[in-house]
Amino acid sequence: MTRRITISLPDDVAAYVERTQGTTSGFIAGILRRKMRADSLRAKWAQLGYVVTDEDVEQARARLAALAPVSDEQHARNVEWLSQFDNEGTAAA
């Protein structure tokens, strides 16, 4: 089921979505789903006593941005290693 909701976007944002994503609705729904997953994960961590703040996330992003890029070969090794934890035997790349 879907609901129709009208939103307004700044011109530059609307142009970006139209140029790169095709459908504005699908693009925004994807972003909101990602936010919902993040909020759910933060809530689960909080139940376990781990509180993650926006500042924590920004600090982690800054540390990651300072690292050297991962090569395609290393990425392939990482995906292979992660596959051992996937119940279906395959890891999402």
Give the chain's domain count: 2
- Tracing tokens 């395609």 back to the chain, one arrives at 72
For the chain, the residue count is 93
Is it the case that residue 21 has pLDDT exceeding 50?
yes
Residues 58, 84 within the same domain: yes
* Chain-centroid distance, C-alpha 29: 13
Residue at 85 is within a domain: yes
Q: Name the band, by pLDDT with cuts 50, 70 and 90, for residue 33.
A: very high
Question: CA nearest 32: which of 2, 11, 59?
Answer: 2
Flag whether pLDDT at 90 surpasses 90.
no
**HSE-CB for 93 with a 13 A CA cutoff:** 7
Range of the domain at 14: 9-40
Clarify whether residues 92 and 58 are in a common domain: yes
How far is CA 2 from each of CA 25, 49, 75, rounded to the nearest angstrom? 11, 36, 37
Decide if pLDDT at 89 tops 70: no
Whether this model's pTM surpasses 0.85: no
